[in-house]
Structure 1
Amino acid sequence: MIALLIAGGVAAAHFALWAVSNRPVSVIEPLDYIDGFSYSPYRRDQTPLKGKYPSYADIEADMKQLGGIAHRIRTYNSTENPEVSDLARQFDLKVTAGAWLDRNKEKNRREIGAVLADARLHDNIDRIIVGNEVLLRDDLTFPEMYAYLDEVRNATDLPVSTAEPWHVWLKNPELADHVDFLAVHLLPYHEGVPVEKAVDYAMARYLELVEAFPGRAILISEIGWPSKGPTLQAAVASEQNQARFVREFLHRALCKNIDYFLIEAYDQPWKIDIEGWAGAYWGMFNADRELKFPLEGTVDRNSGWMDDALLATVFALVPMLLLCLVQRGMSVGGQLWMCVLVQSCVTAIVIAARLPADYYFTLRDLTALVGLVFGVVLTAGVLLTNGFEFAEVFFKPRWRRAYKPAEPLPPEQQPFVSVHLACCNEPPDMVIATIDSLAAMDYQNFEVIVVDNNTKDEALWKPVEARMAELGPRFRFFHLPQWPGFKAGALNFAMKQIDPRTEVVGVVDADYVVTPDWLSALVPHFRDQKVAVVQAPQAHREWERHFFKRMCNWEFDGFFRIGMHHRHERNALIQHGTMTLVRRARLEESGNWSEWCICEDTELGLRLLERGDELRYIDRVFGRGLTPASFAALKSQRFRWAFGAMQIMKGHWHALVGKSQLTAGQRYHFITGWFSWFGDALQFMFALGAIGWTAAMLIWPKMFSLPVTIMLAPVLGLLVAKAAMGPILYRRAMDCPWADIAGASLVSLGLSHAIARGIIAGLTHKRGVFLRTAKGKAEGGLAKFFQPIREEMYLLLALLSAGGAMLALRGTDSVEVLLWVTMLGLQSLPYWAALACQFIAQLPEKPAPASAKAQVA
């Protein structure tokens, strides 16, 4: 019942929010009468640009519909669709016939001949307009235009004019000497006038013309407002604004007996290719001949809101209900939080997916939309998985599988443990420190096997060999000059050398200093025969005096304090290659360490889970290693992890989605656990796409348009929500000051490109190269500063150039331009973060306190 109340409450609130934000508005009501429409007969899939013309029946249906609400129509072309005038006469419609003129002189001759012939044949043609905005487009010179006008006037008794915007007439009054009336375009939307002032503005321009040309007849040959399109300064294209403008103008025109044509009768999707995407939406009817708004009564802000709201509510209700039932152990606040996230994500997906029903997309636009919907779905998946983790940390009363310390074992009952350490080209002092810490453990039955593979320099491995010899027979060292399999190959070699008594195998990295009780505290957990792995967290030392190392430390620590608990609840641990203990029998039965995968530790953990084993996480630090020495080393490490993750996904896909002993919770974590990394790859692809689309918009502005605001808003909203959850979660789950939270967030963002490259490489390549993470002192030098981040810098410069060019060429008056530039700016953040990380990594370490120096001395 509680689950139903929560899910139902969120669904009801969601629908109510749609209803409140789309309440009908009252607009002035004219008489149900329209003097005239500009008319183009093309339907949704028809275009003169490709020779796809409407049929006789199509035009007949249009004339029947328009004849019921208007007195006249205006046409633009006389050689295309010649049956319009005759069909208009059948439905008592007067026609102002148009001849289309451009730079093609031969085509112009045909148009002039056709319009004159049409006028002679049809008595319902009462005016002729020669050319439409020809002078505005600069297709013809004024003398050329005068010649065409004079020719037509001499050939007919009908009134003749040419159609131009109001300012063309005012700036060129001599044009009026060659016409019988002024055909004027008044389009306040194109001039950035807000809709509440638009009719007054249009009337003011009309009166200017009346005063400038006293006694001359004036026809408003185009006036209207688009229902969709880019925001131009203060002019917002919407159905509500179109209804307001048209109804206010019709009322004013009736009062003042103004002669006009509304632009236009029907939406013309084909005009997107020549006018941009606003050009398709000037019709009072849509392309399917459905009235967009009534001429009386209230007007909906968004006529399609009910469909969107119902779809989003219905599609979200079932998953919200199931989530509440599955997560009954979570508090009401947590269930409510997750339901709100689910509803928000479903709404964003529905809005994006339904856009083709509301817009006339070209194939280019649809291609972009497919990418956008895909991006919204993946972003929603990332947000939901992060939100679930957020809910468990914030709202779950306690961790169900939070293990307490195990009872210690007396020496005679201690299982024998073989500890393995693989190293390659490591600083010998660092490795010896690790070995010495192992020698100091308070555990009786253990051995240490060190395998140095592929190190050529004897100065690196000889001191380690000497120290191992000093520690006695249970410390054994092997140097392998040439050995395959990277770290996994070295660990498999160690497995062949182990003491026959070994029951547990431990692995520790070459830079870790372990606590004396590592084995004595953790080995007792193996008394439970279901346990195959006991994992302790990775932790670091010597990071306090350098801010970059602080950043790395806290960024690593977040996963072990938050993510590992979250996964441990459903026995879905990520096994790590250090501070890990594995039951020998399970390791050997499963095939030892996989040399085909560069993340052999995580791959082994998943393999054991597929067998039904238990992996146990003990959240207590038993050893500390060194943070990566440089940002380049950190990037290399994260690339390797991302690459290995994709290897694991591909290698275990059948087990993850098919028949195996994995539980639903384990499948969930291993499928969604890398969603954030997929998000990094998606961000990289979107950045490249945004750069390319920006270039295309600037080079071919009529072919490539700005995405509508509603297309970008869900993506930006989801990204902002995801970005906000991380720092809040850190603050809640960790004893970490805000400065370190900011540092961890910065390094996480700065690694985005390295992760993206790792994900893409892992999906496209079968095998990877194991690159060790440098822990020693990094090389300096300003000349090498940009080398590790050169790709990030190329992308940053490209995004900044794209945004700057967009602002310079399109200006700052359009909301769509500003939103697009904002999106480019957000996409540049990972590359700014990489630059900042590289800079911080070069800063010198703070000097050790005097007390610490004295202790060293």
Structure 2
Amino acid sequence: MRAVVAVLLCVAAVHAALWGVFREKQEAPNFKGILPSVSYAPFERGHIVADSIADSEKVRADLKKLSTLTRAVRLYSSTEGSELVPPIAAEFGLKVTVGAWIDKNADRNEREILSAIELAKHNGNVNGVVVGNETLYRGEQKIDDLIALIQRVKGSVNVPVTTGEIWNIWLEHPELASSVDFIAAHILPYWEGFSDKQAVDQALIIYQKLRDAFPGKRIVVAEFGWPSAGYNLQSATPGPFQQAVTLRNFVSRAEAIGMEYNIVEAIDQPWKYFEGGVGPYWGILNAAREPKFAWSGPVVDEAYWKLATLALLVGLLMSLPILRLPDATVMQSLILATAANGIGAWAATVFSYWTGHYFVLGSAFALTLGLILLVPLVLIAMARIEEIAAVAFGRKPLRLIIKGAAVAPATMGETVTFPKVSIHVPAYFEPPEMLKQTLDAVSRLDYPNFECVVIINNTPDPEFWQPIQDHCRALGERFKFINAEKVQGFKAGALRIAMDRTAVDAEIIGIIDADYVVQPDWLKDLVPVFADARVGLVQAPQDHRDGDRSLMHYIMNGEYAGFFDIGMVQRNEANAIIVHGTMCLIRRAAMDMAGGWAGDTICEDTDLGLAVIEHGWLTHYTNHRYGHGLLPDTYEAFKKQRHRWAYGGFQIVKKHWRRFLPGASRLTPDQRREFTLGWLNWLGAESLGVLVAILNLIWVPIVAFADIAIPDKILTLPIIASFVVSLLHFVTMYRLRVPVKWGQMLGAMIAAMSVQWTVSRAVANGLITEHLPFTRTSKGGLSRMSIEFQAFWEAVIGVLLLVGAAVLVVTNNFKQVLEIYVFAGVLVLQSLPFLSAVAIAILENSRLNEFSFWRNSAIRTAELIGLRPVALPEVVRNSQPVASEIHPEAS
């Protein structure tokens, strides 16, 4: 324990040191003077002055604050509350450049012109009038019409008159320059994609171009600024440090050359979301009227150490569960503590973003929803990291039953006892020859005291049950045959009938599916575990004997193996295994205490197993294969089986969740944790993946066409990190625990991803329905291939995600916003599970699914490149051609 505590403290110390190392501190020229002018918008566009006293007080408070920073303010409108500014500004000795907003609305334009003229006539502190703001750039007025408006105002006031336009508009229209008293040029390098380090140089270059083009003309840089937040535009990256350094550099150099300039803008305007992600963040004061940076001294983040403290506290809090791990190793603790502190750093980033940005209702809702969805994603990622650490660096499994390990048999005096086992084999329209193989294997069990109850339910066709009845008679009195019709409760109903026909002295019930061929030593090896009176259940893994039927079946078998060699082994350490209905031995007393087979879920096996655990019984697991069944015949059957498991799992969650409350059952905290994380990791992860993918699709047009980017550090990058963790988890766990080759492992990964849509549909069904009918998994070769494409909806969603990514990339080609590229990458990653389903559905009906195709292709390739001599047939008299022998490598 001391070593673990030391590791946690060391990781926390390193985490704190990293915050210290990466603390940003930049130098910039000091400015201790007063700015000549700043842009000021007192109210949101469309504001109506209904309470002039309240509005005047608001303006007065703003201007009082600004009077300590600037000598003048520039307005963009003369109505909507802006008309209150000039007389109040005079109270604080501030000059005002009045603006008249000009667009396509002739009536509004007239009101603006008249108001601007009146303000200039009646307020001695008005030092100029700007008629229109980027009106030509927006294409809302023709140049002749704009010049006419300028001339009209010039004839009505005694102050200089101009218009505000982007610098290149002035160069392109010299006639405009001739019509104004001075040139008011907007130079905003951010919107041209220049970096913050290039911005000031670029502004001075453009300023000189204007001076060269219009010698003797007064030139004012009417807008220069840099946003403190938002998305990048090509090389232009906004940020608090970038804003502070850029503005301080610009002001210092502008003052040195005697430039007239106006900084845009005075105060952040959260309502300017229509200008994209950067619109609200151009102010030198935030919306609370607080300075966003200091004009002298090093540029630093004043709240940095608060964020660091938050990150450390969250990291330590997330690390505390490590102390509960039994015999945690140093490396195991190190990995988990590092991950926990990583989450702490992310939490601090989220807090910083939330407190440092402005949100309208839609963006606040979207961000809140995104963060809510990320919480289970983070928990799932942590659970997977914990499993990696436990398997790779933790202690070896202690409770796993190892083949050949000594297990004390039950004794009575000097005599070894063999508790009677009743093996139940339920069957529903199963191929008779397949079921016969199962019963023959049971008859060969190396155990002296067992019976076998075969129950065929709801199968009226004699061709299915008559051969089995005859076969049971041939196998002897140990085999009991039941043909039950109109059985209620699916498989559970049949097993209840089997229990009624079970020998009264049977102490242990064994369950195997109709396709499982058991090994002779199954009972001999595992029944002795029940010598411990506390043991209620022993589970052996499923496996399959037909994985070589096709490439699809090969990868399916690899996918099944992962659950039984990884998850079940780890859960067994917490006495929290999942019962999966075949190769299972249950103490009869434990079954009776748990209420027997329940028919209210379609996963009656897992339901019963959880009930046994809830009553305090011990369970044990072995990963040795004591039986082999058959894989689903088709991909359609594979998906239907997974849908049944997921739907049944969701039914079990709804049925049992109250028993997970404190004191509601005998479940230990570790058992509650294992089941909760297990459900979250399976049902939650798949459903969450589909939900987030669909929500992201909805966001594509908003991101592509509304200049709103998804914040990468708090939303999209965690999704990518979660995908990387899942990939690392899959590869690491398979290499350490599952004895498969790389090719089968890759195929298993594709098969696992391919059922994401299927599982999510099952969860959705579980939310809106109480019961779905039990569907038998087609095995044994009786099922026919469906003519329908088995991944239609997966193909639709997968293609839409790829199209969405392409749209984002194409529309972002000019802006080159990094967050949009990251979002496009997320869409591609999210398409992989859907495209995996499409790939398997296509594979199933192609020649690529046949092993013979790959063997023959390998031979032909070897012959073509000379690695293998070409084998020519020899013609022998009175015989057919004899091909050379082929010894393909075992796959």
Q: TM-score, normalised by structure 1?
A: 0.94
Contact 2:381 2:725 (C-alpha < 8 Å) held by counterparts = yes
Over residues 272-322 of structure 1, what are the superposed CA-to-partner deviations in whole Å (9 max), with x where a residue is unaligned?
A: 0x211211001111111111111112112x5543222211211221342x3
1:374-396 Cα shifts (integer Å, max 9, x gaps): 12211111011112222221122
Name which of 717, 720, 723 aligns with 1:716.
Answer: 720
- 1:316 corresponds in structure 2 to 315
2:526 maps to 1:522? yes
Separation in structure 1 between the aligned mates of residue 549 and residue 489 of structure 2, nearest angstrom = 36
Q: Matches of 2:555 and 2:70 in 1, distance apart?
A: 70
Deviation at 1:192, TM superposition (A): 0.7
Superposed, 1:418-817 pairs within 5 Å as 418-544=422-548, 546-659=550-663, 660-677=665-682, 678-698=684-704, 701=706, 705-707=709-711, 709-777=713-781, 784=787, 787-811=789-813, 813-817=816-820
CA shift, 1:185, in A, is 0.6
1:536 Cα deviation from its structure 2 partner? 0.9
Residues 170 and 212 of structure 1 are in contact (CA less than 8 Å); yes or no, is this contact kept in structure 2?
yes
One-letter amino acid of the structure 2 residue matched with residue 814 of structure 1: V
Kept in 1: contact 2:602–2:774 (CA 8 A):
yes
Who is 1:83 aligned against? 84
Q: Secondary structure at the match of 1:626?
A: coil
Amino acid corresponding to residue 305 of structure 1 in structure 2: Y
Q: Which residue does 2:259 correspond to in 1?
A: 258
Deviations 1:453-494 (A, max 9, x none): 223543333322222222123212222332221111111111
Between the two structures, name the one with larger relative contact order (CA 8 Å, sep ≥ 6): 1
CA offsets, 1:767-822, max 9 Å, x none? 222222222348787x83x6211110110121122122222233262212211111
Q: Cα 1:515–1:93, aligned 2, differ >3 Å: closer, same or farther?
A: same
Give the whole-Å Cα distance in 1 for the aligned partners of 2:827 and 2:557: 30
Matching residue of 2:872: none
Which aligned pairs between 1:111-510 and structure 2 lie closer than 5 A? 111-272=112-273, 274-300=274-300, 302-320=301-319, 322-403=320-401, 404-407=405-408, 413-510=417-514
Please say which of residues 373-382 and 134-143 is displaced more in the overlay. Answer: 134-143
The match for 1:70 is 70
Q: Once structures 1 and 2 are overlaid, which stretch shifts more, 186-195 or 470-479?
A: 470-479
Mapped to 2, the partners of 1:580 and 1:666 lie a distance apart of 20
Runs in 1 of length 4+ with deviation above 6 angstroms?
49-54, 409-412, 778-781, 848-853
Report how far residue 611 of structure 1 moved.
0.8
Q: Which amino acid aligns with 1:762?
A: G
Query: SS state of the match for residue 629, structure 2?
Result: strand
- Paired amino acid for 2:679: W
CA gap of 1:807–1:49, structure 2 versus 1, over 3 A, is farther
C-alpha change, 1:621 and 1:303, in structure 2 (3 Å) is same
Structure 1 residues 350-393: Cα deviation after superposition (integer angstroms, max 9, x where no partner): 43355321111111111111121112211111011112222221
Residues 851 and 263 of structure 1, relative CA distance in 2, 3 Å threshold? same
Aligned twin of 1:831: 834
Report the alpha carbon displacement of residue 847 of structure 1 after superposing the two structures with TM: 5.1
Letter in 2 for 1:490: A
Question: Counterpart of 1:846?
Answer: 851
Tell me the SS of whatever aligns to 1:88: helix
AA aligned to 2:840 is: C
Task: Tell me how far 1:675 sits from its aligned partner.
Answer: 1.8
Q: d(CA) in 2 for partners of 1:92 and 1:796? A: 63
The letter of the residue matching 1:680 is E
CA apart distance, 1:670? 1.0
Q: Could you say what secondary structure the match of 1:402 adopts? A: coil
Question: In structure 2, how many angstroms separate the alpha carbons of the residues matched to 1:710 and 1:406?
Answer: 52
Task: Tell me, yes or no, if structure 1 residue 107 matches structure 2 residue 108.
Answer: yes
| Structure 2 unaligned residues grouped into runs of 5+ | 856-883
CA distance in structure 1 between the aligned counterparts of 2:508 and 2:783, rounded to whole angstroms: 39
Which residue does 2:93 correspond to in 1? 92
Distance in 1, Cα, partners of 2:832 & 2:849: 25
The change in CA–CA distance for 1:747 and 1:36 in structure 2 (over 3 A counts) is same
CA distance in 1, matches of 2:457, 2:741: 41
Q: Is the 8 A contact 2:86 2:96 kept in 1?
A: yes
Q: Deviations over 1:63-86 (max 9, x none)?
A: 122211211110111112222112
Take 1:653 and 1:525, find their aligned partners in 2: how far apart are those partners? Answer: 30
* Cα contact 1:348–1:376 (8 A) shared by 2: no
Tell me the distance in 1 between the aligned counterparts of 2:480 and 2:399.
37
Deviation (angstroms), 1:825: 0.8
Counterpart AA for 2:204:
M
Specify whether residues 354 and 600 from structure 1 end up closer, same or farther in structure 2 by C-alpha distance, changes over 3 A only: farther
Structure-2 separation of matches of 1:451 and 1:241: 76
463-472 or 654-663, which deviates more:
463-472
Tell me which moved more, 156-165 or 635-644: 635-644
User: How many residues are matched?
Assistant: 843
For residue 811 of structure 2, what is the amino acid of its counterpart?
L
Q: Is the 8 A contact 1:420 1:507 kept in 2?
A: yes
- Letter paired with 2:360: T
Between the aligned partners of 1:820 and 1:461, the Cα distance in structure 2 is 57
Q: Which amino acid letter does the alignment assign opposite residue 295 of structure 2?
A: L
Secondary structure of the corresponding residue to residue 758 of structure 2: helix
Report the TM-score, using the length of structure 2 for normalisation: 0.91
Q: Secondary structure at the match of 1:574?
A: coil
Contact 1:709–1:819 (Cα < 8 Å) also in 2: no
Structure 2 Cα separation of the partners of residues 708 and 621 of structure 1: 46
Return the offset for 1:441: 0.9
* Distance in 2 between residues matched to 1:162 and 1:601, nearest whole Å: 79
Residues 265 and 284 in structure 1, CA contact (< 8 A), matched pair in contact too: yes
Q: Describe the SS at the equivalent of 1:742.
A: helix
Task: Give, in whole Å, the separation in 2 of the partners of 1:293 and 1:242.
Answer: 9
CA distance in 1, matches of 2:656, 2:783: 39
- In the TM superposition, residue 111 of structure 1 has moved relative to its aligned partner by 0.9
* Contact 2:349–2:713 (CA under 8 A) maintained in structure 1: no
Does the 8 Å contact 1:230/1:708 carry over to 2? Answer: no
Q: Distance in 2 between matches of 1:708 and 1:106?
A: 44
Query: In the aligned structure 2, how far is the partner of 1:435 from the partner of 1:394?
Result: 40
Taking structure 1 as reference, are residues 780 and 180 closer, same or farther at Cα in structure 2, changes over 3 Å only? Answer: farther
One-letter amino acid matched to 2:701: A
2:821 is the alignment partner of 1:818: yes
Relative to 1, partners in 2 of residues 1:366 and 1:260: Cα closer, same or farther, differing over 3 Å?
same
RMSD (CA atoms): 2.4
Q: Report percent identity of matched pairs.
A: 35
State whether residues 537 and 620 of structure 2, in contact with CA within 8 Å, keep that contact through their aligned partners in structure 1: yes
Which consecutive residues of structure 1, in runs of 5 or more, have no partner in the other structure?
none
Change in 2 beyond 3 A, CA 1:482/1:405: farther
Question: What is the identity, as a one-letter code, of the residue corresponding to 2:825?
Answer: T
CA contact (8 A) 1:352 1:372 kept: no
Question: C-alpha separation between the residues in 1 aligned to 2:850 and 2:709?
Answer: 50
